[in-house]
Structures are given as structure tokens and as C-alpha cells.
């Protein structure tokens, strides 16, 4: 086998983006003490079901459903990140009558996959960052194939934020309209 054939990617870039966003979300959920599962069939634009053992004032063992995306480019700049969703995904995420809250998580990663992680004996760093957004109750967009949504840079998807989301959910509180870690407390 030639050295050139060893350098070829094992999968195309979109498959690696999906795998990287999944690894990022799994890492956040693991640190938060949450369990992750994937639906066998993706009929509802749900990539992940994240659950917790939290006991709230209204519910126990809350679950949040998540749609994951990976956007290649530099680190975020400005106050928000724009992301274009196909209208079916947008409609599924804005549904107000689902039992479990749904959020969009967009992982920003460097353009080149070899820059996605830094690893040595002391650390494993995943680059760059993930942001979340609840679209529950957003307006219908008739006659459109896509909808651009804007994720506030305050909405960093961290273990602490995921725990706060679980607490809010178990207390029967909504995630729609919430931005930043301070509002989740």
C-alpha cells in the first residue's frame, strides 16, 4: 500500500462533520452526567435523545431531543451564528406540542479536519465550540425551502448549561426564548 493511499480520508467530509458533532455532544453529555441515545429511525429530525436522572418539582428523569449540525469555518465572530435549516427540520424543531423539548446544536469546527482536535498526553481539546437554540414557537415560514436561524453566542453548549436545561425541563419550565447560562439558572 502506498503512503498516498494512507492519506486519503476514510469517509467524506460531511460524514466526518456528523461524527465530530456527535463526539462533541457525547463529551458534553458525559461530563454533565447525562445519558445519550439515538433514535433508530430519524423521522422527526431528532439526532439525539439526552436524558438525566434529575428530580424536578414537576417531572423526574427529563429528556431533551436534539438536532445536531456541524459548520466548518473559523471560531465564531459577532453576537450570533447564522445557520440555514431545511424547512422540514425548522418545522420539527419549532413544534410546540412535542412532549420533550427540542433544541438545535451547531458545532463550529475548523475548516480542515486535522485541526479539529489537539491531543497530547495532558489533554484532548475539541475545536471550536457548540451553540444551542430552542426554536419552539417560532413562526411558520410558508412557501420556503429553508430558514436561516441565529444562535446567540451566549448560548454555548456546555455541561453546566445542559444540567441547567435538564433542571428547567424537570421543573416544567420552557427552554424557548432562553439565551445564555444566566437565564438557565
Residue 6 has pLDDT above 50, yes or no: no
Query: What backbone phi and psi angles, to 5 degrees, belong to 61?
Result: 50, 60
Top-level class of domain 11-175: alpha beta
- Cis amide leading into 128 (omega within 30): yes
Residue 142 has pLDDT above 50, yes or no: yes
Q: What percent of the chain has pLDDT over 90?
A: 79
Residue 9 has pLDDT above 70, yes or no: no
Q: How confident is the model at residue 42 (pLDDT cuts 50, 70, 90)?
A: confident
Q: Pick the closest to residue 184 from 166, 27, 36, 149 (CA basis).
A: 166
Instruction: Answer yes or no: are the C-beta atoms of 86 and 92 closer than 8 Å.
Output: no
Domain ranges of the chain: 11-175
Instruction: Answer yes or no: are the C-beta atoms of 86 and 149 closer than 8 Å.
Output: no
Q: Please write the tens of the pLDDT for every residue from 57-113.
A: 999 999 999 999 999 998 899 999 999 999 999 999 999 999 999 999 999 999 999
Amino acid at each position: 500500500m502506498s503512503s498516498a493511499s494512507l492519506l486519503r480520508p476514510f469517509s467524506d467530509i460531511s460524514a466526518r462533520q456528523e461524527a465530530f458533532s456527535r463526539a462533541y455532544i457525547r463529551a458534553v453529555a458525559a461530563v454533565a452526567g447525562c445519558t445519550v441515545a439515538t433514535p433508530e429511525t430519524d423521522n422527526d429530525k431528532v439526532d439525539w435523545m439526552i436524558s438525566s436522572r434529575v428530580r424536578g418539582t414537576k417531572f423526574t428523569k427529563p429528556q431533551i431531543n436534539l438536532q445536531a449540525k456541524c459548520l466548518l469555518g473559523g471560531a465564531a465572530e459577532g453576537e450570533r451564528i447564522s445557520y440555514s435549516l431545511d424547512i422540514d427540520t425548522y418545522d420539527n424543531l419549532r413544534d410546540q406540542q412535542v412532549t420533550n423539548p427540542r433544541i438545535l446544536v451547531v458545532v463550529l469546527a475548523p475548516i480542515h479536519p486535522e485541526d479539529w482536535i489537539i491531543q497530547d498526553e495532558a489533554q484532548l481539546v475539541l475545536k471550536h465550540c457548540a451553540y444551542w437554540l430552542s426554536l419552539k414557537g417560532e413562526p411558520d415560514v410558508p412557501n420556503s425551502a429553508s430558514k436561516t436561524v441565529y444562535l446567540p453566542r451566549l448560548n454555548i453548549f456546555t455541561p453546566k448549561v445542559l444540567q441547567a436545561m435538564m433542571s428547567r425541563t424537570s421543573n416544567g419550565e420552557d427552554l424557548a426564548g432562553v439565551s445564555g447560562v444566566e437565564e438557565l439558572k
